[in-house]
Amino acid sequence: MNLGQHFPMISTQMNGKRLAYLDSAATALKPVSVAQTMSAYLNEHTSNVHRGIYSLSEDNTRHYEVVRDQVKDFLNAAAREEIIFTKGTTDAINLVAASWGRTNINAGDEIIISELEHHANIVPWQMLRDEKNAKLLIIPIKDDGSLDYQAFEKLLSARTKLVALSMVSNTTGVITDMAEVQRILKNKNITLLLDAAQAAPHFPLDVQSLGADFLCFSAHKVYGPTGVGVLWGKQSLLEAMPPYQGGGNMISTVTFEKTTWNKLPEKFEAGTPAIAEVLGFGAALEFVAEIGFPYIEKRDQELLNLATKKLLDIPTLRLFGTHPKKVATFAFEIPGLHPQDLGSVLNQEGVAIRTGHHCTQPLLKRFGVTAAARASFGLYNTEQDIDQLVMAIKKAQKLFL
């Protein structure tokens, strides 16, 4: 399938070289339809939503709410009221920590996360732990980057109230075994939050079969715009939670003596939303639906297998996260070659990767490093991108080693 027509950016250059964009785990490139949808709203039919009784506002409100239905279908949620628009995954996790967490976590209660988590799924729980005098327990990972499920099971106790896990590591690409997670938590009455930021672009999500209570992801990882994401939660939980922020459309009535809240999902959507971004998100979901997850998963595994083979042929290169169940995201190091120096050479060769700690400092510490290089692939990537990456790495080795 030729996707070049959808992603004009792949035909551009960087530093005079053909661009090999390998930073999709940070943000994916956007298909033309996303830019066109946002541009049309901004240039041709701008208005606020949920407020005006004039046709333009009513039309935009209808289109905006259609995107909520698209997300419902994307996640196979039971009801559209379970779909809360947020600024992104980080905002969604903070919403749960501030609203559900402050209501349900008490002194001595235990929250479990893992060693592979993004900082966005660490820091909010640390803040809640400190505020509530709770405990934060950590599931260790194995040398191949997978969770130690036996250790996970041993961490559970009568005080465990919440487990918050990434479905896919943003650094290594290793996939969490959800069947094991469900087995371990079965009949335990423990709330489960899933960070699906890195899962959503790669394989289908079904919240009715995952065993989760909350799930969140960001539009910009799924070929959509930045600044918008989703919190899905079971309706009964969301209805019981207090609002996260006040003002705007989250109210029903306001007096100086008392305010009453709007119904779901508006209760958690204070203020004027990111309208252009939500509409662009809808266009991205349409694009993903047209391509289809059977092709997306197949292509991801092809890139995974090909890139793994070619990267491991590079002398001294060390991959972090070697478990076979993963997506096409690769964290690696070249001993003796600092990731920043490597990234600089790759930049000059037209290869865009990320270097640093990838917002996973505890994970890198587990692997004995403070920084790593990361190449992450999307639908638009090809074997040529892999070859360009490998050649650039070998050039860096010659320059520095």
What 8-state DSSP symbol labels residue 262? P
Q: Which of 359, 369, 390, 391 is catalytic?
A: 359
User: Hey, CA dihedral for 9, 10, 12, 13, is it positive or negative?
Assistant: positive
What residues contact residue 37 under an 8 Å CB cut-off, 6+ apart?
279, 280, 282, 283
The single-letter code of the amino acid at 154 is K
The answer to whether 379 touches 1, Cβ cutoff 8 Å, is no
**Residue 225, phi then psi, degrees to nearest 5:** -80, 165
What residues contact residue 220 under an 8 Å CB cut-off, 6+ apart?
27, 28, 88, 226, 227, 228
The answer to whether 374 touches 319, Cβ cutoff 8 Å, is no
Retrieve residue 112's tokens: 């479990």
Which among 43, 37, 90 is positioned nearest to 277, based on CA atoms? Answer: 37
Retrieve residue 324's tokens: 């076979």
Q: Is 216 assigned a catalytic role? A: no
- Catalytic annotation, residues: 359
